[in-house]
Amino acid sequence: MLFAALQDAMGEAIGHRLFTVMRHDAAAGRNRRAHTSDAAAYPVSGFKPVTWDHPWTRRVLVDGTAWIGSGPADIAWAYPDHEKIAAMGLGSAMNLPVRWNGRTLGTVNLLHDAGHFTAADAEIGMVFASLAVPALLGPDAT
C-alpha cells in the first residue's frame, strides 16, 4: 500500500517513531486516521472533530503550511492527547498537509524524540507528503 511505502521512505529520509496519515473532511469538520505505524496505540478508526479556531488548524489544514513541534510544550499545545504521546516517549512532531487544487486532503504526521525535526525536514517532508495525494483523493475506506 502507498501509505506503508511512504512510512518506510520517510523513516529512512527523515526518521520517525510514530507515523500516521489523517484524511481531512472539511465539510464534515472531522479527520480520520487512514494509516498508522502503531495500530495498538493509534488504530485506524473513528473520527476526530476539527477545532477550527485553533492556530494549528488554521496553519496546517486551512493555510496548508507544515508545523513542527520541537518539544513537550509544543505537543501539549497542538495535541489533545499529549499525555498519551508523552507516555510513549515522543517529544516532537511534524505535521505535513497533503494538498490538491488548493484544498487540504489530509496530513502526514511524524513523531519522534524531542528536537528531532528541522525546517529542512519539513521541506523534504512536504515533497513526500504530496505523494499521498492519489490515495487521499480516492474514497474513504470506512
Q: Which domain holds residue 54?
A: 2-117+127-137
* 41-81 confidence digits (pLDDT tens): 999 987 889 999 999 999 999 999 999 999 999 999 999 99
The pLDDT, as a whole number, for residue 140 is: 66
Report whether 111 contacts 38 (CB < 8 A). no
Distance, in Å, from the CA atom of 74 to the CA atom of 93, rounded to the nearest integer, reads 9
Please report whether residue 64 resides in a domain: yes
Q: Could you tell me how many helices (H) and strands (E) the chain has, helices first? A: 6, 6
pLDDT value at 2 more than 70: yes
The pLDDT, as a whole number, for residue 30 is: 96
Please report whether residue 122 resides in a domain: no
pLDDT value at 98 more than 80: yes
pLDDT value at 142 more than 50: no
Q: In this structure, what CATH number is given to the domain that contains residue 73?
A: 3.30.450.40
Please report whether residue 17 resides in a domain: yes
Q: Which three cell numbers stand for residue 24?
A: 481531512
Identify the band that residue 89 occupies on the pLDDT scale cut at 50, 70 and 90: very high
Amino acid at 22: M
Mean pLDDT score, 5-15: 98
Number of domains in the chain: 1
pTM beyond 0.75: yes
Q: Compute the mean pLDDT over every residue in the chain, rounded to the nearest whole number.
A: 95
pLDDT value at 110 more than 90: yes
Q: Which residues pair with 38 in a beta bridge?
A: none
The pLDDT, as a whole number, for residue 8 is: 98
Percent of the chain whose pLDDT exceeds 70:
98
The pLDDT, as a whole number, for residue 1 is: 81
Please report whether residue 32 resides in a domain: yes
Distance, in Å, from the CA atom of 104 to the CA atom of 102, rounded to the nearest integer, reads 7
Q: What share of the chain is helix, strand, coil (3-state, %, to 5)?
A: 35, 25, 35
Please report whether residue 142 resides in a domain: no
